[in-house]
Amino acid sequence: MLNPIKSWFSKRDVQTWRTAVAAMRREYTGEPLTEEAAGANPLELFERWYAEAAEQSLFDANAFVLSTVSENRPHARVVLLKGFDERGLVFYTNYESDKARQIDANPEVALTFNWPESFRQLRIEGTASRISGAESDAYFNARPAESNLSAVISPQSRPVESRQWLEEKQEALKTELQVSGKPLERPANWGGYRIMPKYWEFWQGRTGRLHDRIAFIPDASRPNTWKTQRLAP
């Protein structure tokens, strides 16, 4: 994408990227998203889209923007999806972090996946709740050791005096474990949340900006079923 912009720079009197950003454009040539292709189950469509994104993505296909609301202010950050099934979508964090405190105060959240290689986006709205300690233990024990060291020593979202302070805390814990020979246990303030979707919106980029958008909303007349709506791009 950058080469056309650099060429655009050379042909015009442009001084900064602030001017050039409006010229950054590409055509979205995704496959059609029809109602037939979408099907009746949003989780099944999500699984198909995720499988394709995992094969095509240059980076983390499981990355999504998690949006929360606290005191009438929106907050957003990128986190990693670590599991999904009929019960919902799971991610992990420090339970004393900003995002966790915001979720505990208001469990209504929104998720946004962006898969640019396939010209796709996905929006989900739902309710978040903590998963069981046993589930969090199983995931924690499967993580790389360095990741768990960081999870234990980090006062996530809190100010710290320096990078060196964090590294020294991590090294001290590593040494302590080596001397004691004890395994590192999951701290009580770290674990997972499961988000139960109540709205799904699949977006497929198409040519000429005439995109496909199909939303799944609960069917009030039939429990545990969904109905679809096509939305204008």
Catalytic positions, written as ranges: 209
Tokens of 199: 């709205």
- The CA–CA distances, whole Å, from 34 to 16, 62, 164, 205, 214 equal 41, 24, 53, 13, 8
What counts of helices (H) and strands (E) characterise the chain? 8, 9
- Within a 10 A sphere around the Cβ of 232, how many other Cβ atoms? 6
Helices (H), 12-82: 17-20, 35-38, 42-56
Mention every residue, 6+ apart, whose C-beta is less than 8 A from residue 196: 87, 88, 126, 127, 128, 129
The owner of tokens 């979508």 is 89
